[in-house]
Structure 1
């Protein structure tokens, strides 16, 4: 009799007290590239546009290879960091970094999600609380990381 496959419970990690979400996203992207992980970043177009520019310029010694999901298929398929307003159905990735206010569509199919929460924006913090409750209600494993307590972040 074949073994029954069990699906892992999705995991979300909230990074709290982030001073600048776009710069922090750049550092997480660099870390993903250095560890040969594939990262999908989803969020509003304006935030992704800012992030796209920063990924080219945030460090004088690093380049974070990235592409837009809408780029040609070959580029998007092989880019270690992919930017998208919505997650593509056919993309394979190790983690998803979410920059939006609401729980992203299709997230229940993802294994690992990262949420960033501003250190000073009250509205952003309230949206994060709502997302936390939504993930908790879905039965996700939730982890908390306070950026202020970890100088390596």
Structure 2
């Protein structure tokens, strides 16, 4: 079964995702990021500008195969079966389809009230499926 972590209380979804992806990339991993098209567009732009010292090679699911091979981050509305399936980062509103098979799922929940309510529903859904859930409260100093 996948390891599912919830990162609660992200002050801003996209900047937090940039920092999280920098950490994932720095450890030599690749990640698929799922979410709403608007969020993914914002994340794509932010990954080019969030740090003058870091570059995270990334692309969309519709990129050419040569681009997908060299990217460490894949931005997609639903998980892709034909790309690395170690880490899935969910920035979306619901449990992603086809999330099974990933070793680690990180579900990011912002401080926005609607997003928090959606996060609670995702927590319940994963729990009903029998997954063990790990909670990281980003508002607490000792959280990752």
TM-score (norm 1): 0.89
1:130 aligns with 2:124: no
Look up the match of 1:5: none
- Equivalences for residues 1-153 of structure 1 within 5 A: 9-119=1-111, 121-150=112-141, 153=144
Residues 89-125 of structure 1 show CA distances to partners (whole Å, capped at 9, x for unaligned) of: 1112321001111111001232211111112x11111
Find the structure with the greater CA-based Rg: 1
Unaligned residue ranges in structure 2 (runs of 5+): none
Moved segments of 4+, more than 6 Å = none
Is the contact between residue 85 and residue 101 of structure 2 (CA under 8 Å) also seen in structure 1? no
Please provide the CA RMSD for this pair: 1.3
SS across alignment from 2:100: helix
- Please, what TM-score do these two structures have when normalized by structure 2? 0.94
**What's the offset of the Cα at 1:39?**
0.7
